[in-house]
Amino acid sequence: MARFHPEPEHLLQFAQGSLALSESLIIAAHCDMCTRCQQIVHQHTSILSAEIFDFPVTGEPDPARFDSMFEHITQLPPLKGKIAPTPAQTSIELDGKRFPLPLTLQRILCKTGSWSGLVGKLWQAPVDLDTTGLATFIYMGRGGTVPEHTHRGTEYTLVLDGEFCDELNRYRTGDFISMSHEHIHSPHSDSLDGCLVFSVLDQPLHFTSGLARLLNPFSHLFFR
């Protein structure tokens, strides 16, 4: 069971549809894995729907209110031809290991690039979301470490499989982690099977120690 979740205001903004695409994506993926946050979003959605359509929050809505909408739908011309369903890819694979993904992330696998190895037993596969920022699947093998860094903007991370820790906490499957310029950390995994995460950034990382600091002048090149 997840121990770390999006802030309450983020769940409300998600239900309102007011978040950026990358934020909405990772929160939706967390909700796929977390019944607690699913229920909160459902409650927000019910209240917002009642405000917009003037329905009571509880009880059955008046069917008469839907009459005109149904009439309009049934008068639309039928679709021509058939759309053949395509087999859904439900997992991501790395080095012979297959990791099941929440439904939301299954839908973006077609936008996911190839895996590339990094130093420190790290692998990454970028995701092209056609929006500003950076979205990436990151796998930390056992003993894998991300160099110490802080954040110029906001970093959201969702643990998809396994666990990792940093100077602040230990994070397990389903956990949603939010980091900002106030945080300095060096994530690492000592899990036997490593750890797979999905991460979105709105600004480049800023490395704070070791040779990784040499990458700071070039970090903007990875952003749109």
Q: How far apart are CA 181 and CA 207, in angstroms?
A: 12
Average pLDDT over residues 140-145: 91
Looking at this protein, which amino acid is placed at residue 198? Answer: F
Q: How many helices (H) and strands (E) does the chain have?
A: 5, 11
Residue appearing with tokens 């299954």: 106
Give the pLDDT of residue 211. Answer: 47
What is the band of 224 on the pLDDT scale with cuts at 50, 70, 90? very low
The class (CATH top level) of 108-222 is mainly beta
Q: Where are the beta strands (DSSP E) in 134-217?
A: 134-140, 149-151, 155-165, 170-172, 176-179, 195-201, 205-207
pTM of the full predicted structure?
A: 0.79
Sequence-distant contacts of 94-97: CB under 8 A, at least 24 apart: 94/123, 94/125, 94/139, 94/196, 95/123, 97/193
- Under the banding of pLDDT at 50, 70 and 90, the label for residue 177 is very high
* Alpha helices in the chain, H assignment, sequence order: 8-16, 21-33, 35-53, 67-74, 103-106
- Where does CATH 2.60.120.10 sit in the chain? 108-222
Q: Residue 176 pLDDT more than 80?
A: yes
